[in-house]
Amino acid sequence: MNFNVIAIGYGNELRSDDGIGQRVAKTLHLSNVQSLAVQQLTPELAQNLAHADLAIFIDACFTSQSFQIQVEPLLPTSYKIIAGHMGDPRSLLALTQAIYGYCPRSWWIKVPGVNFELGQTLSSIAETGVAIALQKITQIVEENLSVVF
């Protein structure tokens, strides 16, 4: 039995820490995980989600002081309209549910960043967050695999 996982890292790589999601997606190398690095969540991603058993979304979030990765389960709810960078994973899951009658179990990993200015270098906080996010993704995949098998 195949267990299909999709990890979607999104953000703007030209705005320093906003590129955290894409960096995680490009660095992630797990078997049975399709990893996508995209600038923004678009409706076309619904087709990929419709074929997944598990989806993990990775994005940057602004922090001014504390360093704590947020990991939360997601449900398909129309939170925001999917329009450009304003797309939200919950809305994308709701679209997937509406079109395909199914959406995968999903998680949202938000990695703290402090520098969102023009640039292609991640801050030290973001670099640490990338490493922790990779560990969290591995843990989520392993936990979900053990539930299925």
Number of domains present in the structure of the chain: 1
**Full domain range(s) for residue 58:** 5-148
Helix (H, G, I), strand (E, B) or coil at 131: helix
Which residues neighbour 146 within 8 Å (Cβ) at sequence distance 6 or greater?
none
Band the pLDDT of 76: cuts 50, 70, 90: confident
Q: Residue 54 sits in a domain of what CATH number? A: 3.40.50.1450
Secondary structure letter of residue 62 according to DSSP: E
The pLDDT value recorded for residue 23 is 98
> How confident is the model over 80-115, as pLDDT tens digits?
555 554 578 999 999 999 999 999 999 999 999 999
The pTM score is 0.92
Q: How far is CA 3 from CA 6, 75, 104, 119, 144, in A?
A: 10, 20, 11, 37, 9
pLDDT tens for 22-71 read: 999 999 999 889 999 999 999 999 999 999 999 999 999 987 666 789 99
